[in-house]
Structure 1
Amino acid sequence: PGHRKLSSLRRAPQADGTRPVSILSGNGGLYVPQELRRGADGVMTGFAFPGSLVAVYEMFVAGKADAAEDLYDVYLPLIRHEQQFGLGLALRKETLRRQGVLRSAKSRDPGPSLDADDLLELQRLFDRLVLKLKVAGHPIPEGLDN
């Protein structure tokens, strides 16, 4: 749900006796910190670095919301990059291939293939991610540490 609806759903049991429900956020991971602050119970979205979202969630529920958002911010350029219309799945598959999760990043037709420019952009984002993670003292995801 949107942020306001999420807040409304969270307040409903106290306001009118509505049965509490579990709320998992998706939205491509674009608003994870805001959704957690408004009462989402967790995150269920596609992203090529799911461990990062698990870490953000765990930090958040441990009362380290600012640290969680700092880690989230490090990954945000890649979260955003994966949301490209028509190309996002190909980007995610290539990222998962580099991490050793997939043997091939090929998409079935009529799915897109990444061109040299796409791969260069992705590598630049990976390089920047690695630098930011090192500075922040966070682990480097497998496949990016070379």
Structure 2
Amino acid sequence: MALKVFNFKCKNGHLFEAMIPSVKEFEKQRDAGLFLCPFCECREVERVLSAPHVARSRSTSVSASEKEAQERLENLIKEVAEQINSAEDVGEKFAAEARAIHYGDSPERSIRGTAKTEEVIELIEEGVPIVPLGVKNDRKVN
């Protein structure tokens, strides 16, 4: 069965995409409490409008502006990677250390590490400036 990409929004305002076979399958999973927001695990999710993908023909040559945009993107990716690699790895103590830096209880510096979804949400709600870069998918659903 082919999967389709649909846009969704939870009651907390998080927007995300998911690949599902059909709208009916989404409704079935949602009604059974199996369809969760990947950010906050909220079960109150609704489908929102999606822009259709329209295939367009492309010439084999890439314009100068496209090359420039690609170079800027590659440079940005390299810069982010350098920032991540130069940050101090505090491991699972990330939430506590980020909070300590934010409130002035620890020296100002760039850190990286891991945090649970709940900890990330709490840090964001407290106004601690963090950039979540990924999530460990340890859930059995979705």
Shorter-chain TM-score tier: under 0.3
Give 1 or 2: higher strand fraction.
Answer: 2
**Greater relative contact order structure (CA < 8 Å, 6+ sep):** 2
Could you tell me the TM-score, scaled by structure 1's length?
0.22
Give 1 or 2: higher helix fraction.
Answer: 1
